[in-house]
């Protein structure tokens, strides 16, 4: 009897352990009878309509295993959103070839991360190759140029390209820090002062572009507890983009609004706007709506990614409304923390 109790306890522990893993595990005998399934497998068993195809693929894999053909398969649900799975069948043991163990793993997040990593490396390489290639060509030309005016123009171009490389690296470091740290350096922030600081910093660029900056308040008590450096970076990027993509003699309007549960900052421009097809992708790293204009203005394609992560670190959201040719409105919505924010 003690031995039976020990076996029962062991099987209970094994069942609990398999219920804890994220992979779905099925065990069938040679007749196809289900001997065991863990919690993840039971969830798949209650599959929704769009997952019916996955269950058919699993059943086919089990049938192949019962016939002695054990192999790995892959299956994708194209969604949206797309989901990717691996299906592996194995015998329970060399002595128990008739017992089929089937393991299903959801590879969606892993594949998405692999895709993001590949795209990131490719984009960084491309973004750096262009200015570095230009630097080499300009330096070679400068070495053999005797006209002082041409030499000065080439030197200015080299300086601009070097600044562009430096800006890409700075934005990459800024984005990496924001992603890894979260909102780590929190303190009380007066948002009126924060917006004023950002506008003062952006004023020279706005004057050079022929764009006026306007600031309006709605409500009172704009104190907030958060990471000032991250929020300043987010707001500065939105203002900088609005200036770059506005036409001369237009305006960029900032509206700061206090509601009972949020602080909202809207950055409104009257520039070229964003096509509907691009709205879902503008927060991706290096994604540009207007490639030529972005390169001309020195944009790195990382600004809106920085905005999204900085705001997300404060449990906020970034909303965007835009129509091509009619300007854009970006709105940061930050939840306040009740009495702590008062």
The C-alpha atoms of residue 269 and residue 255 are separated, in whole angstroms, by: 11
Q: What is the pLDDT of residue 330?
A: 94
What domain range includes position 26? Answer: 2-106
Are residue 44 and residue 138 in the same domain, yes or no? no
**Does residue 1 register a pLDDT over 50?**
no
Query: What is the SS3 assignment for 58?
Result: helix
Helical H runs in 144-260? Answer: 148-181, 191-209, 228-244
The C-alpha atoms of residue 224 and residue 341 are separated, in whole angstroms, by: 6
**Does residue 5 register a pLDDT over 50?**
yes
The CATH code of the domain that includes 84 is 3.30.450.20
Are residue 190 and residue 327 in the same domain, yes or no? yes
Query: What is the SS3 assignment for 247?
Result: coil
pLDDT range class, residue 262, cuts 50, 70, 90:
very high
DSSP state, 330?
E
How buried is residue 328: exposed, middle or buried, by Cβ count under 10 Å (0-12/13-18/19+)?
Answer: buried
Q: What is the pLDDT of residue 117?
A: 75
Are residue 189 and residue 310 in the same domain, yes or no? yes
Are residue 324 and residue 203 in the same domain, yes or no? yes
- Other CB atoms within a 10 A radius of the CB of residue 314 amount to 21
**Does residue 299 register a pLDDT over 80?**
no
Sheet holding 251-258, edge to edge: 212-218, 251-258, 262-269, 328-335, 317-322
Are residue 168 and residue 201 in the same domain, yes or no? no
Examine the fold and report which residue of 181, 208, 234 is the final residue of a domain before the chain moves on: 181
Are residue 174 and residue 200 in the same domain, yes or no? no
Are residue 136 and residue 194 in the same domain, yes or no? no
Catalytic status, residue 3 = no
Catalytic residue (one of 3, 28, 98, 126):
126
Considering only CA atoms, which of 301, 164, 193 is closest in space to residue 241? 301
Peptide bond into 286 cis (omega under 30): no
The CATH code of the domain that includes 246 is 3.30.565.10
The C-alpha atoms of residue 189 and residue 211 are separated, in whole angstroms, by: 28
> What's the count of helices (H) and strands (E) in the chain, helices before strands?
9, 12
The C-alpha atoms of residue 290 and residue 280 are separated, in whole angstroms, by: 15
The CATH code of the domain that includes 138 is 1.10.287.130
Q: What is the pLDDT of residue 220?
A: 84
Q: How many domains does the chain have?
A: 3
Are residue 291 and residue 302 in the same domain, yes or no? yes
Q: What is the pLDDT of residue 311?
A: 93
Are residue 191 and residue 328 in the same domain, yes or no? yes
The C-alpha atoms of residue 9 and residue 305 are separated, in whole angstroms, by: 51
Examine the fold and report which residue of 74, 106, 138 is the final residue of a domain before the chain moves on: 106
Q: Please give the biggest Cα pair distance in the chain.
A: 101
Are residue 167 and residue 235 in the same domain, yes or no? no
For the segment 7-56, what is each residue's pLDDT rounded down to a tens digit? 677 777 888 888 888 899 999 988 888 988 888 888 876 666 667 788 88
**Does residue 255 register a pLDDT over 70?**
yes
For the segment 197-221, what is each residue's pLDDT rounded down to a tens digit? 999 999 998 999 899 999 999 888 8
The string of DSSP codes covering 70-92 is: --EEEEEE-SSSPEEEEEEEEEE
Higher-scoring residue by pLDDT: 176, 329 = 329
Examine the fold and report which residue of 45, 73, 106 is the final residue of a domain before the chain moves on: 106
Are residue 194 and residue 283 in the same domain, yes or no? yes
The C-alpha atoms of residue 214 and residue 251 are separated, in whole angstroms, by: 7
Are residue 133 and residue 260 in the same domain, yes or no? no
The C-alpha atoms of residue 145 and residue 133 are separated, in whole angstroms, by: 19
For the segment 282-295, what is each residue's pLDDT rounded down to a tens digit? 887 777 666 555 55
């Amino acid at each position: 009897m003690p031995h039976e109790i020990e076996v029962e306890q062991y099987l209970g522990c094994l069942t609990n352990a398999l219920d804890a893993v994220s992979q779905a595990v099925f065990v069938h005998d040679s007749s196809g009878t289900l001997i065991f399934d863990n919690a993840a497998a039971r969830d798949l068993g209650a599959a929704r309509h769009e997952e019916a195809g996955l269950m058919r693929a699993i059943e086919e894999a089990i049938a192949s295993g019962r016939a002695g053909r054990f192999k790995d398969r892959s299956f994708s649900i194209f969604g949206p959103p797309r989901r990717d799975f691996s299906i592996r069948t194995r015998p329970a043991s060399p002595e128990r070839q008739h017992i089929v163990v089937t393991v299903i793993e959801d590879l969606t997040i892993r594949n998405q991360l692999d895709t993001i990593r590949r795209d990131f490396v490719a984009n960084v390489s491309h973004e750096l190759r262009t200015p570095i290639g230009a630097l080499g060509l300009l330096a070679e030309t400068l070495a053999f140029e005797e006209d002082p005016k041409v030499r000065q123009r080439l030197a200015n171009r080299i300086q601009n390209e070097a600044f562009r490389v430096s800006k890409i690296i700075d934005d990459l470091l800024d984005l990496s820090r924001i992603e890894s740290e979260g909102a780590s350096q929190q303190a009380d922030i007066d948002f009126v002062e924060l917006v004023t600081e950002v506008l003062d910093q952006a004023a020279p660029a706005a004057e050079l572009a022929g764009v006026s900056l306007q600031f309006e308040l709605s409500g009172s008590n704009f104190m907030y507890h958060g990471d000032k450096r991250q929020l300043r970076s987010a707001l500065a990027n939105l203002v900088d983009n609005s200036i770059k993509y506005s036409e001369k003699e237009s305006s960029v309007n900032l509206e700061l609004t206090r509601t009972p549960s949020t602080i909202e900052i809207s950055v409104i421009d009257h520039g070229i706007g964003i096509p509907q097809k691009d709205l879902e992708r503008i927060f991706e790293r290096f994604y540009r709506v207007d490639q030529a204009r972005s390169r001309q203005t020195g944009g790195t394609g990382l600004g809106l990614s920085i905005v999204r992560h900085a705001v997300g670190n404060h449990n906020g959201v970034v909303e965007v409304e835009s129509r091509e040719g009619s300007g854009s409105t970006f709105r940061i919505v930050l939840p306040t923390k009740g009495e702590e924010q008062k």
